[in-house]
Amino acid sequence: MSHLTLPQNCTLIISREPITSAQPFYDSSSGAIIEFQGVVRSKEGEKQIKGIDYECFEEMARVQFSRLFFDALKRWPINTIHLQHRIGLVKTGEPSLYLRISAGHRAEAFAACQWIIDEMKKTVPIWKRPLD
């Protein structure tokens, strides 16, 4: 069984608590900070929904997120990664995912942000259950 720890400059929160806006975080080596929020839409396909219930295999999710963060840090010269994923019921219009990446320049920050979300959707064990 793996017990990967997070890279030193990365933080991860998996919680049932609502995602609150992160405090501004600036440092003189980061010329770019990308913030992404994934929000629950009111429609899943053509169907109107009230929210999404997120189920998570949390122990494995932490290992897989950690691996993604290590890989991202190898691929791009980024300074920090902060990711928060909400689990349990998330109502429409509320964010389920918050990702903030800081880097020296915007290109690597945008690229890493896109890549982490794409890979998360392939490997991190979280599932959605839309609620009517």
Partner 1 sequence: MTVTIHFWAHLKDITKAESISRNLEVNSSISDLLTLVYEQYPKLTEWDKSILIANGTEYAQRGDLLQDGDIISLMPPVQGG
Separation CA 132–CA 125 (nearest Å)? 23
Q: Which of 5, 13, 75, 127 binds partner 1 (CB under 8 A)?
A: 127
Phi, psi dihedrals of residue 69, rounded to the nearest 5°: -65, -45
Binding-residue pattern over the window 7 to 26 for partner 1, x denoting contact by CB under 8 A: --------------------
Nearer to partner 1, 2 or 9 (CB): 2
Q: Which two tokens stand for residue 43?
A: 């429609």
Site for partner 1 in 26-85 (CB under 8 A): 38, 54-55, 57, 59-64, 85
Angle at 35 between CA 31 and CA 102, to 5 degrees: 35
- Comparing CA positions, the residue from 86, 85, 82, 76 lying closest to residue 110 is 76
Residues forming contacts to partner 1 in the complex (CB under 8 A) are 1-3, 38, 54-55, 57, 59-64, 85, 96-97, 117, 120-129
